[in-house]
Structure 1
Amino acid sequence: MNQEVIKAIPSNRLQFFPVMMFATVMGLGGLTLVFERLNHVFLFSSMFATTFLIIATTLFFVILFTYFLKIIKYKEEVLKELNHPIRINFFAASSISMLILSAAFREYNLETSLSFFYFGAILHIFFTYYTIRFWINNNLEIVHSNPAWFIPIVGNLIVPIAGVGFLDNAILIFYFSIGMFFWIILFSIILNRIIFHNPFAPKFMPTMFILIAPPAIGFISYIKLTGNLDFFAQILFSLALFFTILVAFMYKNFVKIKFFISWWAFTFPLAAVTLSSILIYELTKKDFYMYLSYTLAMITTLIVTLVAVATIKHMAKKEICIME
């Protein structure tokens, strides 16, 4: 690696470059998938999806390259993140980003989609096992639990969505089973934390939106695997809708939160529930789901735009990638 390239990035900034930056790709990639489905189902212009795909892909490689430089120059900082009870969960955001890009590229270039999928699926199952081993081998406290724990779990539910046609269904069901089982287990733990223990620190309040993602992604994944809008599928969609309304009902908890990079936790779950709404409209053709899809698509686009602008604004002020 060219030493001049490494030195071009200020040491203090690179040292504190957070792994949760990959969540930005998840948000933009999710929005890309939303506009792809809007193009197919509601005949929106394909220009929006193409533009967001270019931005998300470029951002992914920029973040990947930057974090690779951090591994080279500040290996001890990376190890700290790998051994942090909260940050460890965000490593899976890198593999989820690959899976989302795989799904987004499927209609543009099948070989690119396949490459992203295999790298993402292999890396994600590694992070799943690594994270669960970390939970088992370390004496974690209840205050360490938060919805970010769902990140390595939810990714397993994305694998069947991106992987249909790439892998045998038996393997995709293996991933799906992991995601569904641990979603139920972790939800019980986190609900216990929310009700009976101290509230989340302000910077982790946005992670409440992650509660939307498992049932929303689980619904899409289940439909991809079975092709049936049965009773169980409708339960999953209803739960996704419930959690969406719940976080909307709690809007006062979010409006005054100071900006943190964790704001990107708002974005992908909203994209996920939007995609599930579009899918259930395709399957039922009910007007309610059409209006719901439009509404959620507008909200998701607005939130991603606001968070992206806030991120750029705070980057300009050098308030990101600093010591906490």
Structure 2
Amino acid sequence: MSEIQNNTSSSRLQFFPVMMFAVIMGFSGITLAYKKASEVFLLPEIIYQILSYITACIAVIITFIYLLKLIKYPNEVRQEIKHPVRVNFFAAISISMLLISTVFHEYENIALPLFIFGAGMQTFFTFYTITYWLNKNIELAHSNPAWFIPVVGNLIVPIAGDGFADIYLLDFFFSLGIFFWIILTAILFNRIIFHGMLAQKFLPTLAIFIAPPSVGMLSYLKLQGAYDMFAVILFNVALTFGLILLALIKNFYKIKFFISWWAFTFPMAALTMAIITVYEKTSFEYLTFKLLGYVSLIMTSILILIVLIRTIIAVKNGEICVKE
């Protein structure tokens, strides 16, 4: 019996997906949203402090498990990074490090090493993925909003690197992220509109459209400070994508649970942070933004709780970490 259990555990480790790092992104996002809400809405700091430690524990566990997979099943990892769809999720590793660095930004001994390592890995995964796209005959059917992760993830670097890196270096990452956000938005809209809707498993990744303009605005404000016309455009685009996702909500009702459901979480948290930040930057004049901020924070919290519960149930039922 014990031998069977060991074989089952080994099998699950073998198929532990790199997509699991999206869980860290989701928890980091909601932690930062509550941190911002505590500053602007004066919510109790204990909420984000508890969430920060929960996020750190989840990050350690997921990273440890994936490192075990790398050691024990290097060929499986090699196949993942050469896969036309899964390759895009490897940047979730570096983004997770950058987000954890932001969560613990006031603790320089923790935040700075995470930023350096995360920014270095983000650079590697960015150029690895771009060269992968250029060298391979990628089919349009393989494209999905997860393509944003390896290149648009660069927009997080200026946020995490605030006070740690030279402004010109942070400008470079910001420019790279904005450039590829524009290009990939056009490509992915063409794919979705003219070449059929995404496979059911990847429908949740539609939420990723919200993340680039939301994070882009937050990143831009870190670099420039002023809530000018460019920041307004980025915010309004993010809000528009959020409303589009809301209009498509009926499409998500009957979707079977996949780990890709975590793709809903970080974009919603990023939009929440963007709304609260706009309320702050407009000198608290627009109560509509305050109401939107509260609503978005509550919705995102409920969303993460639902996805977490469904994930735990799926793990218990053996539906995660199985061969596709």
TM-score (norm 2): 0.96
Pair 1:282-2:280 in alignment: yes
Q: Does the 8 Å contact 1:154/1:217 carry over to 2?
A: no
Unmatched 5+ stretches in structure 1:
1-6
Distance 1:15 1:198 in 2: 32
Distance 1:233 1:68 in 2: 39
Aligned-pair CA distance for 1:8: 8.9
Aligned-pair CA distance for 1:47: 1.5
Aligned-pair CA distance for 1:9: 7.5
Pair 1:305-2:308 in alignment: no
Distance 2:275 2:109 in 1: 29
Unmatched 5+ stretches in structure 2:
1-5
Residues 1-324 of structure 1 correspond to what in structure 2 (within 5 A)?
A: 10-107=9-106, 109-284=107-282, 285=284, 286-324=286-324
Please list the CA deviations of residues 227-276 of structure 1 after superposition, one character each: whole Å capped at 9, or x if unmatched. Answer: 11111110000000000000000001111100000000000000000000
- Give the structure 2 partner of residue 4 of structure 1: none
Please list the CA deviations of residues 44-66 of structure 1 after superposition, one character each: whole Å capped at 9, or x if unmatched. Answer: 11111111111111111111111
Aligned residue-pair number: 317
Aligned-pair CA distance for 1:174: 0.3
Secondary structure of 1:179's match? helix
Distance 2:98 2:252 in 1: 29
Distance 2:49 2:314 in 1: 27
Distance 1:118 1:296 in 2: 31
Secondary structure of 1:76's match? helix
- Give the structure 1 partner of residue 3 of structure 2: none
Distance 2:89 2:43 in 1: 33
Distance 2:71 2:224 in 1: 44
Distance 1:309 1:154 in 2: 29
**Structure 1 residue runs of 4+, over 3 Å off?**
none
Q: CA RMSD in A?
A: 1.0
Please list the CA deviations of residues 52-100 of structure 1 after superposition, one character each: whole Å capped at 9, or x if unmatched. Answer: 1111111111111111111111111111100111100110001101111
Aligned-pair CA distance for 1:308: 0.5
Counterpart of 1:225, as a letter, is: L
Distance 1:210 1:115 in 2: 27
Please list the CA deviations of residues 181-224 of structure 1 after superposition, one character each: whole Å capped at 9, or x if unmatched. Answer: 00111111100101100211101000000000000000000111
Secondary structure of 2:138's match? coil
Counterpart of 1:288, as a letter, is: T
Distance 2:315 2:97 in 1: 24
Please list the CA deviations of residues 4-50 of structure 1 after superposition, one character each: whole Å capped at 9, or x if unmatched. Answer: xxx69811101100000000000000000011111111111111111
Q: Does the 8 Å contact 1:209/1:247 carry over to 2?
A: yes
Counterpart of 1:115, as a letter, is: P
Counterpart of 1:216, as a letter, is: S
Q: Does the 8 Å contact 2:152/2:176 carry over to 1?
A: no
Aligned-pair CA distance for 1:153: 1.8
Distance 1:273 1:77 in 2: 35
